[in-house]
Chains A and B, each alone.
Chain A
Amino acid sequence: MSTAMPAQISLADVDVSFGSKTVLSGLNFEVFKGEVISIVGASGCGKTTSLRLLAGLLAPSGGSVSFEGKPVRGPRRETAIVFQDYGKALLPWRTAEGNVSLALEVMGVPGPERRSRISELLALTGLAGHHDKYPAQMSGGMQQRLQIARALAQDPAVLLMDEPFGALDAMTRQSLQDELLDLSARTGVTIYFVTHDLEEAIYLSDRIIGLLPNPGRIGRIFDVPLPRPRDQLITKEDRSFLALRHELYDFVKGSEH
């Protein structure tokens, strides 16, 4: 990313504490428009907290978070979230169609257009033919895809995703990774992606933030020099992919002590 471009999201000296516990400390980074940025780190090091900060669901205890130059005061519709606990984030009394419709209703999309958008989004997330299923009738993977469909219905400028593919089988996971890259290339949506899976982080990202725990802070920011479009086989056999995987592995391993 060129440094001449102004950042879309920037964090300056951000601290987050809950009571006396400091969860995130001295975060400084910028996210650029259209970028895919992943965040990795040990469990409990504050990845979800950082995402909530960017979403405006959480105010920093110190420092500032800004979106397009203006301080973030609360959630905005152009920022969509795919929550980690998909089971709680869907409306159990609405069908797949109804859950996607929720975002469109709130945005005031008129009925007929809503229907075609819903079909489009459900097809995009591989849920075509499951319009009338309730979340309780869907597998974890399907529920997560439904959450993604609803997030995309917001037509977001920034997509915040919290371990979105953690519950999926390898095949579904790979195809959704490719769908996501395709989406990012087509729409230019910025993606902030929390994951435990280092290969996934490398495969998707332009940059990877490595968090250190206790308190959560930035250990290193890794650049991903791999060309786009990426390919599940070719990219993952690239020498720089393997080298980066090694580096990231050492980083996360080292941070656990």
Chain B
Amino acid sequence: MSARKPDFRPFAVPLGLVLLWEALMLAFPTASETLAPPHAVILGFFGIVTDGTLALQTAQTLSSALGGLAIGFTLGSLLGAAFGLWRWFDRAMQISVESVRLIPSVALIPLSMMVFGFGTRMEITIVAFTTQWPAMVLARAAVREVEPRLMEVATVLQMSLLQSATKIVLPSILPRLFVSLRLTAGVAMIVAITVEVAANPYGLGAAILAAQISFRPEVMLATLIWTGVVGAGINQVLLTTQNRLFRHSLPGGGGSE
């Protein structure tokens, strides 16, 4: 894997498009308020890197997204695992959960702002609220799909509840919980940026909005692209960790030699 030469082919199309964009902007100069040629975007990027604003905004967004994710993922997974284990609990809670779950996260911004004002806490709350649902659904499915044969192995060995939880259920669901973490991390980034663009004067989302309002398309685009890179980076880190940790238990994870 690592011995192979890196494959640059996937980069050919985006690079081609960027060059085309640069050429078009040179051929037909416009004083656009939304578009800037790639070289201006690159310069804009260096600008916000050197004056430290990008680092600050990234830290703000990440702390909200990851903080909210930590809370939402934990709560959601615990709730989902409980639903998966005890069907009566699932049935008893179904209507309450379904009705709260359908509230769009953006609709909570005013409420959260009323309680917490601007800043980290209101954003964390909304991220946590939104991420807990997919985490809940995925954890519930993970628990339900523990191999029944393994549960029989647990009964035949007369394992205690604690033993079957730690020796069978938890290791069975961990790979799937990690996939869920990767998925909800993506949701967390989207929600954090959305909240920042919509209301919170803070983080990368607010920076994108501010650059647009102050007619600085090159800064706007540089921040936008950086936001994408941050999201992809988080995903990549999680993916690498997942492949390393669960090589033997995820189908297609490279378990066989």
What separation, in Å, do the CA atoms of A77 and B163 have in the docked complex?
15
Asked if B153 lies at the interface with its beta carbon under 8 angstroms from chain A, I say yes
The minimal Cβ–Cβ distance linking B31 to chain A, given in whole angstroms, is 60
The minimal Cβ–Cβ distance linking A79 to chain B, given in whole angstroms, is 7
Asked if A247 lies at the interface with its beta carbon under 8 angstroms from chain B, I say no
Residue from A81, A88, A94, A107 in contact with B156 in the complex, judged by beta carbons closer than 8 Å: A81
Interface residues of A (CB under 8 A from B): 55, 57, 74-77, 79-81, 83, 85, 88-89, 91-94, 102-103, 105-107, 134, 136-137, 154
What separation, in Å, do the CA atoms of A94 and B168 have in the docked complex?
11
The interface size bin for chain B is 20 to 34
Q: Is the beta-carbon distance between B149 and A83 smaller than 8 angstroms?
A: yes
Shortest Cβ-Cβ A-B pairs, 9 listed: A136-B255, A88-B149, A134-B248, A93-B249, A75-B156, A92-B249, A106-B157, A75-B155, A89-B149
Closest partner residue, chain A, to B155 (CB atom): A75
Asked if B39 lies at the interface with its beta carbon under 8 angstroms from chain A, I say no
Given A92-B249, A93-B249, check contact A136 B155 (CB 8 Å): no
A136 proximity list for chain B (CB < 8 A): 248, 255-256
Q: Is the beta-carbon distance between B158 and A76 smaller than 8 angstroms?
A: yes
Asked if B171 lies at the interface with its beta carbon under 8 angstroms from chain A, I say yes
Residue from B155, B248, B257 in contact with A92 in the complex, judged by beta carbons closer than 8 Å: B248
Asked if B229 lies at the interface with its beta carbon under 8 angstroms from chain A, I say no
The minimal Cβ–Cβ distance linking B250 to chain A, given in whole angstroms, is 9
Asked if B198 lies at the interface with its beta carbon under 8 angstroms from chain A, I say no
A94 proximity list for chain B (CB < 8 A): 171
What separation, in Å, do the CA atoms of A85 and B149 have in the docked complex?
9
Q: Is the beta-carbon distance between B255 and A91 smaller than 8 angstroms?
A: no
Q: Is the beta-carbon distance between B256 and A106 smaller than 8 angstroms?
A: no
What separation, in Å, do the CA atoms of A81 and B155 have in the docked complex?
11
B157 proximity list for chain A (CB < 8 A): 77, 102-103, 106-107, 154
The minimal Cβ–Cβ distance linking A198 to chain B, given in whole angstroms, is 27
What separation, in Å, do the CA atoms of A85 and B147 have in the docked complex?
12
The minimal Cβ–Cβ distance linking A50 to chain B, given in whole angstroms, is 16
A80 proximity list for chain B (CB < 8 A): 156
